[in-house]
Amino acid sequence: MTMPAVALRGMTILPGMIAHFDISREKSLKAIEEAMRNDQQVFLVTQKDVEQENPGLEDLYEIGIVAEVRQVIKMQNNIVRILVEGTSRAKVCSFTEETEYLKVEIEVLEKDSQEDLSEEVKQAMVESLVENFLRYAKSSGKISVETQKQVHAVDDLEKILDYIPNNLPVSYKEKQKVLEAVGLEERYEVLMSLLLQQIDVNTIKNDFQRKIKEKIDKNQKDYILREQMSLIRQELGEDNTTSTEADEFMEKTEKLKASAEVKTRLKKEIGRFRNVSSNSSESTVIRGYIETLLELPWDKSTKDSKDLDAAQEILDRDHYGLEKVKERIMEFLAVRNLTSKGQSPIICLVGPPGTGKTSIARSVAEALNKKYVRICLGGVRDEAEIRGHRKTYVGAMPGRIIQGIKQAGVKNPLMLFDEIDKLGSDYKGDPSSALLEVLDSEQNNQFRDHYVELPVDLSEVLFIATANSMDTIPKPLLDRMEIIEVSSYTENEKFHIAKDHLWEKQLTKNGLKPEQVSLGDAVLKKVIHSYTKEAGVRSLERKLGEICRKCAREIYQKKAESVKITINNLEKYLGKEKYAQDKKNENDEVGIVRGLAWTSVGGVTLEIEVNVMPGKGEFVLTGKLGDVMKESASAGISYIRSISQEYGVDPEFFQKNDIHIHIPEGAVPKDGPSAGITMATAMLSAIIGKKVRSDIAMTGEITLRGRVLPIGGLKEKLLAAKNAQMKTVCIPKGNEKDLPEISAEIKKGLNIIPVEHMKEVIQQAFV
């Protein structure tokens, strides 16, 4: 057949479809006029490219449709609207030469006569198509209820194969595929594929839309609820600060450097805070908790200094002596530099007051470039001071550890536990037990404060503790710390500390310049020797401060240009000499022996006196002695009685005579095991009437069989012996291993004799 043709742009018409379209191209208008003059038949074929103005045969699809023109309406601007009904598929064979309009030779495509499908197959196809079309209609929402009913009513396969694609809102390319499928089975497959594809697309699209809608709905709901809450608060006369604060907290939470666990907890608490009235007490509690969590340095730290030389320089600059402490800090630094992290040690500095334990911690912090936090534990009795209070209590707050971390602003400060030996305990709990977890490097990476309720990592904190004595520190706590003993200073060490540090510090403190006050070395030594008697240098610093104050008054009030302190005028500034060192006795005497003892302020010498007098065999001890010293005296007399026959003592001597042991300074409590051999020597001397050397001092515990047991505080005791100008010191053989650690300055001039048995002591002591 030959007939006029119209090339359609972006549109495909299928058999049985009534459609209208607008045409404006000259060739298309001429083709419609030609069709109307004849049998109103026109061939409609779709362009492959919608932009093509003058399509050729290669620009058109091969299959088109023969349609009957039903109506022609002329519109404005030379546009004509055509209403057509598709009748049958046709294939383009060739163009016929026409200049005015497109004329084609076509071949109408008939149904294949050999394609005979059984009624069951046709029925199955119809039901399948109807079912999937209804599924598509449900998923897209674009198909009217009327159309769905009509599809349900059609039971002829060929009709439904044409009806469904006509009502599908799909692209012209998809409809062209249906048009090009001539056979029923082929058309069924194309249409079914198209329906299933569209159902999948709609499902995905609906899923996206549902998710977006849920998100928008939630945001919208939250916004509406907040606005309602805001209005309710305004009506109640409450301010709107809670919501604003909650927004600020949320903003800070987003910026906070912390783990997901911390942020999740914060967001939960902020949500609670937002919904609580600002006038309620609960609001204050939650606000305080949120602020605490936000202020804690969860993942914030300082970079440690790796310069060992600079660290050594700082330690040497600030402290004279203390070699063990400095050595340990340098070892820690070296390990930290090699491992890039290294476990922070837990150091406990033990020593008398005023020996620089607290100040060295500050110097260590400077040497390591760490933040410094000091926590004084003296008199702390409440466990909550360490672990914090539960949030449920009124006035609850974090423990001192967490407060210290918060104060430092970083998670790796140097934290000083001052006076750890002064911890108390009562019905509120034992704070030393709470410190067990803090001071355990294996456990403290998950420290839980009762208030914070989240694990806080303390493994990077460098803990340094100070104590005057190890005796009062609980054993489990002591076991977790590395003990470094900071012993008493010698007079020479005190001299260097005063000259290099204290004098300059006191001048500055009292507004003086070095050229205004001169203080010679001899004067400084005189101050140390005659005006102070301590292990540390606190009292010495006070004396130097006293001199500076008097000098400041002379310079300001009496207009003196400078003041010179000499041995002769020192009394004017400090008064009479306060201390005269315990010197050795001038003569050897019977029943008087010099012992050595350790006190919290250093070593001292004790003169033990024994008198024997006629009586009933009584044994008297005076001088405010503790239980240990009384037991030592009892052990000593038992030993002497066991060996008395060797010295020709009458067996009935102990029944007919009283023995009285006295240690002067009766008001001062004395206790400890180190006077055993001293008391035994004095008693034997008094019993047998033999003199004891006045230049010998001794220390050691005695057993019933006369063995000499080791003691502690050897350095302080030797220093006391040296100050008392003793020449010979008997020490237990077990303490011989401690001698290499004692400086040569102390040992110089002392004849130190290690003894194992009382017989060796007697041999050395008696004249």
3-state DSSP assignment of residue 728: strand
Residues across the chain: 767
- The residue-averaged pLDDT of 373-399 equals 83
Query: Which pLDDT belongs to residue 753?
Result: 92
Nearest one of 533, 531, 523, 519 to 489, comparing CA atoms: 533
Could you name the CATH architecture of 589-765?
A: 2-Layer Sandwich (3.30)
Q: What is the pLDDT of residue 666?
A: 63
Which residues does 636 contact at the CB level (< 8 Å), separation at least 6? 676, 677, 679, 680, 683, 702
Q: Please report the pLDDT score of residue 195 as a whole number.
A: 81
Of 1.10.287, 1.10.1790, 1.10.10, 1.20.58, the CATH number of 119-197 is: 1.20.58
Per-residue three-class SS string for 463-524: EEEEECCCCCCCHHHHHCCEEEECCCCCHHHHHHHHHHHHHHHHHHHCCCCCCCEEECHHHH
CB 665 within 8 A of CB 623: yes
| Coil, helix or strand at residue 587 | coil
Q: What is the mean pLDDT of residues 526-536?
A: 82
Average pLDDT, the chain: 83
Report residue 527's pLDDT band, with 50, 70 and 90 as the boundaries: confident
> Which of 397, 430, 400 has the alpha carbon at shortest distance from 417?
400
Every domain of the chain and the residues it spans: 2-108, 119-197, 238-295, 344-351+364-485, 491-574, 589-765
Q: Select which of 432, 674, 685, 694 is catalytic.
A: 674
Residue 113, pLDDT above cutoff 50: no
3-state secondary structure of 406: helix
Each residue's pLDDT tens digit, 313-369? 888 888 887 788 888 878 877 887 787 665 667 888 888 888 888 888 888 888 888
Predicted local distance difference test score (pLDDT) of residue 602 = 67
- What is Dmax (Cα atoms) for the chain? 168
**Residue 550 dihedral angles phi and psi, to the nearest 5°:** -65, -40
Residue with the two structure tokens 């083709």 = 31
Nearest-CA neighbor of 447 among 432, 457, 460, 461? 457
Helices (H), 615-737: 627-643, 653-656, 676-688, 714-723
Whether 717 sits among the annotated catalytic residues: the reply is yes
* Tokens matching residue 28: 């298309």
| Better-predicted residue by pLDDT, 487 or 656 | 656
What pLDDT is attached to residue 482?
Answer: 86
Q: What is the pLDDT of residues 729-747, one digit of tens each?
A: 999 998 889 888 887 878 8
CA-closest candidate to residue 624, choices 587, 670, 582, 580: 670
Give the C-alpha separation, 675 to 300, whole Å: 55
Coil, strand, or helix at residue 532? coil
Its pTM stands at 0.59
In CATH terms, 491-574 corresponds, of 1.10.8.60, 3.40.50.720, 1.20.1440.230, 1.25.40.10, to: 1.10.8.60
CA 54 to chain CA centroid, Å, is 77
* Backbone CA torsion sign across 243, 248, 251, 256: negative
- Fold adopted by 344-351+364-485: Rossmann fold (3.40.50)
Torsion angle defined by CA atoms of residues 130, 131, 132 and 133, in that order, rounded to the nearest 10 degrees = 40
In whole angstroms, give the CA distance from residue 583 to residue 589. Answer: 15
Contacts of 169 (CB under 8 A, 6+ apart): 140, 142
The answer to whether 578 is a known catalytic residue is no
Confidence of residue 134 (pLDDT cuts 50, 70, 90): confident
By CB neighbour count within 10 A (0-12 exposed, 13-18 middle, 19+ buried), where does 757 fall? middle
What is the reported pLDDT for 353? 84
- In a 3-state reduction of DSSP, which class is residue 350? strand
Say how many C-beta atoms besides its own lie within 10 A of residue 426's C-beta: 10
| Domain 2-108 belongs in CATH node 3.40.50.150 | no
Identify which has the larger pLDDT, 277 or 20: 20
Q: How far apart are CA 88 and CA 436, in angstroms?
A: 95
| pLDDT at residue 729 in the model | 92
Measuring CA to CA, which residue among 689, 698, 679, 720 is closest to residue 765?
698
Tokens of 560: 């003196």
pLDDT of 610 reads: 92
Kindly state the average pLDDT of the residues 386-400: 83
Residues 32-74 pLDDT 10s? 888 888 888 888 888 888 887 777 777 788 888 899 988 888 8
User: What whole-number distance in Å separates Cα of residue 284 and Cα of residue 303?
Assistant: 36
pLDDT at 682: 92
Query: What's the N-to-C CA distance of the chain in angstroms?
Result: 155
Q: Which residues contact 543 (CB under 8 A, 6 or more apart)?
A: 527, 531, 532, 574
Contacts of 315 (CB under 8 A, 6+ apart): 326, 329, 330, 360, 363, 364, 367
pLDDT of residue 237: 63
Could you say which of 175, 370, 717, 722 is catalytic?
Answer: 717
